[in-house]
């Protein structure tokens, strides 16, 4: 009797694994300004400025959350962990910390601006002034 129960349990586990969605999130992508601009422009992407203090923002920014307050601000983040996120700061140091925390919280579709707003401006793109985002 026990071998039959074990066989049935094993068959159920195998069947569940075959239909279960993948839960492994892709690692965050560190991208150049041109790629980041395309991500920000995509419908459905939530763009987050994590730099403190406010030194300006990119057009299209949806949220400003200090890099060290990401976990505490999770109520402001998208409920769907698959929502595309575009994260940036002034130079990249703060966004790297924020992106690690977002990944730890389960977000799996994250792009991070390599070099931050400094690289953005160096690529002939404009920033909005502080206080405008």
Q: What is the CATH number of the domain that holds 47?
A: 3.40.250.10
Report if residue 3 sits inside a domain.
no
Among 85, 75, 82, residue whose Cα is nearest residue 45: 85
- The answer to the question of residue 99 being in a domain is yes
Helix (H, G, I), strand (E, B) or coil at 29: strand
Q: Is the pLDDT confidence value at 106 over 80?
A: yes
The per-residue pLDDT for 3 is: 52
**Residue 64: which domain range?**
23-122
Instruction: Quote the CA–CA distance of 89 and 20 in Å, as a whole number.
Output: 36
Q: How many domains does the chain have?
A: 1
Q: Is residue 73 part of a domain?
A: yes
Q: pTM for this structure?
A: 0.81
Interval 108-126 mean pLDDT? 97
Kindly report the CA angle at 53 between 110 and 39, in degrees rounded to 5?
25
Residue 130 lies in a domain: no
pLDDT tens by residue, 58-90? 999 999 999 999 999 999 999 999 999 999 999
Q: What is the pLDDT of residue 69?
A: 98
Q: What is the mean pLDDT of the chain?
A: 87
């Amino acid at each position: 009797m026990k071998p039959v129960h074990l066989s049935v349990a094993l068959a159920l586990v195998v069947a569940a694994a075959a239909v279960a969605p993948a839960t492994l999130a892709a690692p965050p992508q560190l991208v150049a300004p041109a790629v980041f601009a395309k991500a920000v422009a995509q419908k459905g992407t939530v763009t987050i400025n994590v730099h403190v203090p406010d030194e300006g923002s990119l057009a299209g920014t949806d949220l400003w959350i200090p890099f060290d307050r990401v976990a505490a601000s999770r109520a402001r983040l998208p409920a769907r962990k698959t929502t595309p996120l575009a994260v940036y700061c002034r130079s990249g140091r703060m966004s790297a910390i924020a992106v690690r925390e977002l990944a730890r919280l389960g977000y799996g579709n994250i792009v991070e601006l390599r070099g931050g707003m400094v690289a953005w401006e160096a690529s002939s793109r404009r920033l909005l002034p502080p206080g405008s985002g």
